[in-house]
Amino acid sequence: MLTANRSDIGRVRQVNEDQAWVGQLGNGITLAIVADGMGGHQAGDVASQKAVDAFRSMLEQSAAKSDLSVQEGKMLIRQAITQANEAVFELASHNELYHNMGTTIVAALVKRDNAIIGHVGDSRAYKITEGAITQLTNDHTLVNELVKSGQLSVEEAAHHPRRNVLTRAVGTDSHVEIDVQAVEWSPHDVLLLCSDGLSNMVSEQEMLQTVRTEQLELEAKADHLIQLALHAGGDDNITVVILQEAAGTNREG
């Protein structure tokens, strides 16, 4: 699996409150997570780091078995995000500086023929295949709820002043509802995880064109996406993780 992991503070923020991690296990499973933290003075970067650490430590141990089923993978993603929620909530509960801090999470567990996606908040997962891009996740935001209920159009939502208000986040409550799904995965597919610093600034068409550009290596594609978000204003931290099967290699197994 080829992977790229890029993050940028953007043009406005004083601190990068995004965190991302990609890991590959010996059994052929690739793990990835993007977390976009929020809170008072530097609490957001503490929340996202704490969440990523908790997620990583659990899955590096638990997902390493050789014949992980889809159901087991879904359960593990759910457990890892639950563990991240508990870790952030506990820290916030015992430290006044971190009161009410939280973070989004979008995470993936990718194996040979499927990818399991878990998410809370408005960081997104996209699947790019055969010249098409599909948003896999459903933003947990106030504005998205208004779109779903027909009170706002998609166009209105894109520019709504409260579009960043979350209805769910990791670490703000003792329990969190987590969306988990499995999607088919083939060697031609590309998975893109990002914080809203990318998805609010860069269109799906621009994402698709960048990922489909054959002249660029995967890391250069991630860099280009960040540059597009910066050129569009860069008013938030920007984080991009891209996963793609090693193109043109014959892989045994």
pLDDT in tens, 224-235: 999 999 999 999
The pLDDT score that the predictor gives to residue 253 is 33
The pLDDT score that the predictor gives to residue 249 is 37
Please list, in sequence order, all residues whose beta carbon lies within 8 angstroms of the beta carbon of residue 105, skipping any fewer than 6 positions away.
Answer: 33, 34, 35, 51, 55, 81, 84, 118, 119, 120, 121, 123, 170
Q: Which helix (H) or strand (E) holds 242?
A: strand 238-244
Q: Letter for the amino acid at 188?
A: H
pLDDT in tens, 108-166: 999 989 999 999 999 999 999 988 999 999 999 999 999 999 999 988 888 888 888 99
What's the rounded Cα separation, in Å, for the pair 243 and 101?
29
As a whole number, mean pLDDT of residues 53-68 equals 91
SS3 of residue 224 by DSSP: helix
Angle at which helices 70-94 and 43-62 cross, to 10°: 150
Instruction: Give residue 234's Cα distance to chain centre.
Output: 18
Q: What is the pTM for the complete model shown? A: 0.94
Q: Letter for the amino acid at 233?
A: G
pLDDT in tens, 203-249: 999 999 999 999 999 999 999 999 999 999 999 999 999 999 876 43
The pLDDT score that the predictor gives to residue 193 is 98
Going along the chain from its start, the domains and CATH numbers come out as 2-244 (3.60.40.10)
Q: Are 203 and 175 in contact (CB under 8 A)?
A: no
Q: Which helix (H) or strand (E) holds 187?
A: none
The pLDDT score that the predictor gives to residue 122 is 96
What's the rounded Cα separation, in Å, for the pair 125 and 137?
6
The pLDDT score that the predictor gives to residue 229 is 98
pLDDT in tens, 86-107: 999 999 999 988 988 999 999 9
pLDDT in tens, 162-178: 888 999 999 999 999 99
